[in-house]
Amino acid sequence: MSMINGFTSEDATRLSETERRLIERRERLLGPAYRLFYERPLHTVRGEGVWLFDEQGRRYLDAYNNVASIGHCHPQVVEAMYRQSLQLNTHTRYLQEGILDYAEQLLGTFSDDLDRVMFTCTGSEANDLALRIARQYTGGTGVIITRFAYHGVTGDIAELSPSLGPCIVLPEHVRTVRAPDAYRLGADNVASIFAADVRAAIDDMKKHGIRPAAIMLDGIFSSDGVLTGPEGFLAEGIALAQAEGMLYIADEVQPGFARTGLNMWGFTRHDVRPDIVTLGKPMGNGQPIAGIVGRSEVVDHFGKNMRYFNTFGGNPVSCAAGKAVLDVIQQDQLQQRSHDIGKYLLEGLTRLSARHEIIGDVRGAGLFIGIELVTDRSSKRPAAEQARRVVNHMRENGVLISAAGPLENVLKVRPLLTFTTEHADILIEAVDSAMQHAT
């Protein structure tokens, strides 16, 4: 994705000799495609709960990573993986109860019409599989995405991820729509603008002889700048697309698993009914597991016409990790905590806007918050360089966030679900301090 706060070669002069040697070794062994966060990259050696630790033992409050969303190295997940590793780990072509127990528990978090699950290893693979299913089911190829979307890194899905950079050339069967940005388009307008854009995209496909297949949306619009409200803004556009025979693929890789608060799944905030839901990152709290959940009519149509096999997708150790994650979310009431701490954070960060003119908008759902920085509130001119300074200042002061958006000016705050008010206060204070150094 776009590396708004990424390390560049110009930053190397600020590093110690040890850090420079480590980066040179990394580039020599891994090549230039990989990227590092922050002007001074973080050298992590350990994680525990909401904290990451560097090689010198300094701890950093993690308000960004939603992979280990229930806490780094959560002992219940680690124990579940360990126990299963001692017993069995193989593929899904043998009968096993673990995958079925987990599938039942996972499907129990969805509405009754979403009653099939297929497993992959990554969110990119899940979106790739969802796209294959949609094409096979509809007989079409046309796909609608937002203009700065990110959906993954496989060949077909990277082509649906313009936020990866200018090297991404959209295929002729892809159409983009504006992300529903209430701050810049107006809260009262985003639903109708989104629906009109979807209508225009479908009409243009048909004009060019392209049969529509799917509309794929990240319900939190993370790469588009964390666009969370008003609730329900997707409904009209999704209904229109589905009426045209398109499948709605809800990309829940980022907003799923209680991230948006009272909703286990982000799409439920908008009163829409997906045909396929894709899952990823937080599903195994660091163990690679992902998948799709879909309507049986759609999934079975694909399965009857095409075999599917993923060697490691749904393996016993990954399913044990996934089950442990769901257990922890339920027993520790992390969905309610996401709502409560998210509200506390949103209120605290909104109060900062009274002191810092650079804060143009604060928005969020649960523990997924965007802070849009502008140089002028009237014109809403983006403050991209200032956003970079804030992110790096906070890193230096022991709090980790990132940045997002096509204008590179939105602070992306994504705390772990186990945050407390104490952690939230540390985060708010760090943002306050960084804002004073941003201008």
Task: For residues 35 and 133, state if they share a domain.
Answer: no
* DSSP characters over 137-156: HHS--EEEEETT----SSHH
pLDDT in tens, 246-286: 999 999 999 999 999 999 999 999 999 999 999 999 999 99
- pLDDT of 1 above 50: no
Task: For residues 179 and 299, state if they share a domain.
Answer: yes
pLDDT in tens, 198-227: 999 999 999 999 999 999 999 999 999 999
- pLDDT of 12 above 80: no
8 A C-beta contact, residue 279 and residue 256: yes
Instruction: Please tell me the distance from the alpha carbon of residue 227 to that of residue 266, in angstroms, as a whole number.
Output: 12
pLDDT, average across residues 306-317 = 93
* End-of-domain residue from the set 280, 301, 331: 331
Q: What is the pLDDT of residue 3?
A: 58
Task: For residues 111 and 16, state if they share a domain.
Answer: no
8 A C-beta contact, residue 53 and residue 59: yes
Task: For residues 110 and 135, state if they share a domain.
Answer: yes
* End-of-domain residue from the set 297, 314, 331: 331
Q: What is the pLDDT of residue 351?
A: 97
439 vs 37, 362, 381, 436, CA distance in Å? 22, 18, 14, 7
327 vs 94, 255, 323, 335, 420, CA distance in Å? 25, 19, 6, 12, 19
Task: For residues 84 and 185, state if they share a domain.
Answer: yes
Confidence of residue 34 (pLDDT cuts 50, 70, 90): confident
Question: What's CA 413's distance to the chain center, in Å?
Answer: 12
Task: For residues 346 and 197, state if they share a domain.
Answer: no
Structure tokens at 257: 């698993």
> CA 27, 32, 36 angle in degrees (round to 5)?
75
Q: Does 1 map to a domain?
A: no
pLDDT, average across residues 297-303 = 97
Enclosing domain of residue 166: 75-331
Residue 292: strand, helix, or coil: strand
pLDDT in tens, 102-148: 999 999 999 999 999 999 999 999 999 999 999 999 999 999 999 99
Q: How many other β-carbons are positioned within 10 Å of the β-carbon of residue 428?
A: 18
Q: Does 2 map to a domain?
A: no
pTM for the whole structure: 0.95
* End-of-domain residue from the set 272, 304, 331: 331
Q: What is the average pLDDT value for the chain, to the nearest integer?
A: 95
Q: What is the pLDDT of residue 2?
A: 46
Q: What is the pLDDT of residue 4?
A: 67
Question: Total domain count for the chain?
Answer: 2
Q: Does 427 map to a domain?
A: yes
pLDDT, average across residues 333-354 = 97
